Amino acid sequence: MELGSGFWGPLIATAAMLLGAAVAGLILVAARRINAPKPSASKLASYGCGEEVKPEEVQIDSEHFYSPIRRAFKPFYRYVQPAHTGVLTHYLVWVLVGLFLIMLAVVIILR
């Protein structure tokens, strides 16, 4: 098999990438066995501007985190919310419909 200059066959390129990934994986496994990461208690403690903060003080209140988004899209949510059933497959359909609408908007804008 003769290859011209500057040409890589797809099999050679794939084999080289797989070999490189395997070598990198072996190096990573060997490095973790030699020196396993063991963070100290001081590394795990929360830190805020020179003060130690309790973990419960650091936690974000998720109830109010999305409030601005909810307010901005309130009319849309009122229209769509009754259709949400909590079933996982229905959620996937909603995600796909949303993706389709976003892609449609991008196509319309880029025309």
Residue 86 resides in a domain: yes
- The structural domain count of the chain equals 2
Residue 52 resides in a domain: no
Residues ≥6 apart with Cβ < 8 Å to 91: 84
Residue 50 resides in a domain: no
Whether residues 70 and 30 share a domain: the answer is: no
What ranges in the chain are assigned the alpha helix state H? 10-34, 41-44, 55-58, 62-65, 67-72, 74-80, 88-110
Whether residues 110 and 73 share a domain: the answer is: yes
Residue 90 resides in a domain: yes
Measured CA to CA, the distance from residue 92 to residue 82 in angstroms comes to 16
pTM of the model: 0.33
Radius of gyration of the chain (CA): 26
Residue 59 resides in a domain: no
- Of the pLDDT bands very low, low, confident and very high (cuts 50, 70, 90), residue 2 is low
Residue 48 resides in a domain: no
> What is the number of residues in the chain?
111
The residue to which tokens 């196509």 are assigned: 107
Residue 105 resides in a domain: yes
> pLDDT tens digit string along 11-56?
888 999 999 999 999 998 888 777 766 777 777 776 677 777 776 7
pLDDT at 3 over 70: no
Range of the domain at 92: 64-111
Residue 55 resides in a domain: no
Mean pLDDT for the chain overall: 81
